Amino acid sequence: VQETVPKRRVAIIGGGLVGALAVLYFAKRGWQVSLFELREDLRVPENKKNLSHRSINLALSARGLSALKRISLGLDDKILEHVIHMKGRMIHLGEGKLKSQLYGVFGECIYSVEREILLELLLNTAATFTNVKMYFQHQFKRCNFDDGILEFENKKTGNPFQDSADLIIGADGAFSAVRTQLMRVVRMDYSQEYISHAYLELTIPPRVNDKGEEEFAMDPNHLHIWPRHSFMMIALPNRNKSFTCTLFMPFENFDALKTEDDLMEFFRKYYADSIPLIGEDQLKEGYFRNPRGSLMSIKCKPYHYKDRAVIIGDAAHCMVPFYGQGMNCGFQDVEMLNGIFEEYEILAVQSSDKLALALEEFTKRRHPDAIAICDLAMYNYIEMRSSVVKPWYLLRKRIEETLYWLFPTRSIAPLYTMVSFSTMRYSEAVQRWKRQGFLLNVIGVSILTTVTAASIWIGYYRFRRI
Ligand code: FAD
C-alpha cells in the first residue's frame, strides 16, 4: 500500500549544522527531503575561502553526540576520529600561573570539533541518500504555509525559484526568515536580547619543537580560559595543532583599542602569556583584520504552525555561547522531534495522522528546555570570566564533586555534569541544581564555620602556651 501513496515532502531551510542533521533524520524516515541553503556548498574546495570567520571550532558534548548516534549512521564514531578531548578548564591566572579544573569526576570530557569538518560529514552523508536534494545559494524569501508554496532567490543567477512541501522546517539560524514568516500566522511571543559583549577570534599557531616537528603550544586536552572578571579569552585546540582563541569583551573595550600600541599594552596587562604564543605581528594583524561578532539570546513560542511548519536550532532559541550548548541543543531538538514523530507514529507516506499534534507537542516539550539553557548560558559567562577563581565557588564545586563521586546515582550532581555529560532535559537539570543549591550552601557554610572556629581555637591555644 505504502508504495502507491506519495511520500511526504519536507523542505528544510538552512543547511547549517542543525539543518544538515535534520536532513538525515527525515531522509532516514523515508521522506522526500529538499535542503535549501543560502551559502555556497562548502564541500567544493574553491568555496572554502568564502567561509566566514565564525566560531571555527566548537565544543561537542553528550547531547550532540547522542543525536549523532541515535540516527545509526555511524556519525558519532566518524566524528570522534576528528575531535580533540578536553578534560577540563585550564585557568590562566596571570604571571604565567596555570590551574587545571577537571570537568568530570569520572574522567568525562567534551570534544573540540571543527565546524567545517562536522558540517562536511553531515552533508556528505546526506548526499548518499537518493531521497535528498540539496540546493545551495538559494535564499528563502517567503512562503504560504497553508498551500506549502515556498519562494526563493537563486543567488547565483538572481532568478526567483519556487517549490512546494508538505512540511517546512526552519533551521535558518538566529535571523531566521522562516520564523519571521511564522510570526505572520501564529501569535508568537518573541524576545531578543543583545549582550554588551562582542567576540573576536585569533589563532595560536603550532610551535616547532627541537626535532623540527610541529606541536601544540599549550596543553591540547584542556579548554583554556583567561578569566579577567569583566571580560575573558578562551582557546580551543584544532587538529592541525593550532588553537582558536576567542576574545570576549564589551564593545567599548574593543573600540578603545585603536592603535597597535593600545592593543599591546592591553595584552601585556591581561594576557601577557598569550603574546609569545600568538606572536606579536599575528596578534596585531588578527585583531585589526578579523571581524567582531555580536552575541544575543532569542526566545520565542510557539515553534510550530499546525501540521505545516516548525523551527529548530538557533532559529527557535539562540543563546550566548558560554555553555557551549547552541549546536548541542539544536542537535537535541532534531533527536527530540524524531522521538515525538515515533511516539505519534508519523509516517513518511501522506496520511491523515497526528502531525499537527506532534508539532504542538514539540513546542510544549522543548520550550521549557530552551528557556532553561538560554538562561544558563547567560549565567555561565559570569562563572567563566569571574567565578572560576573565587574561593567560595571553588569550595562549593569541591563539595558538589565529592558528593557526586561518593553517590553518583543520588540526587546531587554538578550542574556542568548534568548539562554537558547527560541528556537529561535542561529544565530538569536547572530544577535539580536549584534544589541542591540550598544543601550545598549549608554544607559550605558549616565547613567554613568549623575551619574558622578550629583556627581561632588553635591560635588561642598557641597564644596561651607563649
Ligand atoms: P546556523 O549555524 O546559523 O545555520 C543556519 C544556516 O541557515 C546557515 O548556513 C545560513 O547560511 C542559512 N540561512 C540563513 N538564512 C537563510 C535563508 N533565508 N535561506 C536559506 N538559508 C538560510 N555551540 C555549541 O554547541 N558548542 C560551542 O562550543 C559553541 N561555540 C560557539 C561560539 C561562538 C563564538 C558562537 C557565535 C556560537 C557558538 N555555538 C556553540 C553555537 C552554535 O554555533 C550554533 O548554535 C549553531 O551553529 C546553530 O546551528 P543552526 O544550524 O541552528 O544555525
Considering only residues 414 and 121, tell me which one the structure prediction assigns the higher pLDDT: 121
Least confidently predicted of 140-144, 262-266, 371-375, 408-412: 408-412
What is the 437 CA–ligand 1 centroid distance (Å)?
A: 33
Tell me: do 314 and 255 sit in the same domain: no
Ligand 1 neighbour 36 (Cβ under 6 A): yes
With a 6 A CB cut-off, is 172 part of the ligand 1 pocket? yes
Q: Does ligand 1 come within 6 angstroms of the Cβ of 199?
A: yes
My answer on whether 302 and 238 are in the same domain is no
- In short, whether 201's Cβ falls inside 6 Å of ligand 1 is no
Domain that holds residue 53: 9-84+113-192+296-383
Q: Are residues 240 and 378 in the same domain?
A: no
Q: Tell me how far apart the alpha carbons of residues 288 and 259 are, in angstroms, rounded to a whole number.
A: 9
Length of the chain, please?
Answer: 466
CA of 169 to the centre of ligand 1 (A): 15
ipTM of the complex: 0.99
Give the pLDDT of residue 417. Answer: 92
Q: Residue range 130-153: average pLDDT?
A: 98
Q: Is residue 98 part of a domain?
A: no
More confident residue, 194 or 384: 194
Q: Is 39 in the pocket of ligand 1 (CB under 6 A)?
A: yes
Confidence grade of residue 466 (pLDDT, cut at 50, 70, 90): low
Cα separation, 339 vs 359, in Å, equals 11
Residues 6+ apart with CB under 8 A from 123: 15, 20, 41, 42, 43, 134
Strands 309-311 and 167-170: parallel
Residues 19 and 117 in one domain: yes
* Residue 99 within any structural domain of the chain: no
Chosen domain end from 383, 404, 438 = 383
At 52, the pLDDT band (50, 70, 90 cuts) reads: low
Q: What's the mean per-residue pLDDT of the chain?
A: 92
Indicate whether 106 belongs to any domain.
Answer: no
Please state the rounded mean pLDDT for residues 260-275: 97
Looking at the domain assignment, is residue 415 inside a domain? yes
Query: How many Å apart are CA 236 and CA 244, to the nearest integer?
Result: 5
Look at residue 129 and tell me whether its pLDDT is greater than 90: yes
Give, for ligand 1, the residue of 142, 314, 328, 419 to mutate: max count of ligand atoms closer than 8 Å to Cβ: 314
Beta strands in 37-176 (DSSP E): 57-60, 84-86, 88-94, 97-102, 110-114, 132-135, 138-144, 149-154, 160-164, 167-170
Q: What is the CATH number of the domain that holds 160?
A: 3.50.50.60
Q: Give yes or no: residues 265 and 407 share one domain.
A: no
Looking at the domain assignment, is residue 237 inside a domain? yes
Asked, for residue 108, whether it belongs to a domain, the answer is no
Element (H, E) at 13: strand 9-13
Indicate if 37 and 120 belong to the same structural domain. yes
Residues 54 and 72 in one domain: yes
pLDDT of 1 strictly over 60 = no
The last residue of a domain, from among 294, 314, 342: 294
Atom of ligand 1 at shortest range from CA of 139: 19
What is the pLDDT averaged over residues 127-149? Answer: 98
54 lies in the same domain as 37:
yes
Residue 128 Cα to ligand 1 midpoint, Å, equals 23
Which residue has its alpha carbon closest to ligand 1 atom 47? 327
Q: Is residue 133 part of a domain?
A: yes
Q: Which of 1, 2, 18, 29 is nearest to 10 (CA)?
A: 29
Query: How far apart are alpha carbons 114 and 119 in whole angstroms?
Result: 9
How large a percentage of the chain has pLDDT more than 90?
Answer: 77
Split at pLDDT 50, 70, 90, the class of 403 is confident
Where is the domain boundary, 228, 259, 294? Answer: 294
Handedness of CA 226, 432, 370, 24 (dihedral sign): positive
Give 323-349 pLDDT, tens digit per residue: 999 999 999 999 999 999 999 999 998
The domain total for the chain is 3
Judgement on whether residues 76 and 204 belong to the same structural domain of the protein? no
The whole-number average pLDDT for the span 155-161 is 97
Residues 284 and 306 in one domain: no
* Measured distance CA(341)–CA(347) in Å, rounded: 8
Do 333 and 443 sit in the same domain of this protein? no
What percent of the chain clears pLDDT 70, i.e. is strictly above it? Answer: 95
Cell 538562561 maps to which residue?
A: 375
339, 250: one domain:
no
Q: Which atom of ligand 1 is nearest to the CA of 172?
A: 7
Query: Helix 426-465 crosses helix 355-385 at what angle (to 10 degrees)?
Result: 20
Q: Does residue 103 sit within a domain?
A: no
pLDDT at 410: 63
Per-residue confidence (pLDDT) for residue 48, from 0 to 100: 75
State mean pLDDT over 186-200. Answer: 97
DSSP state of 39: S
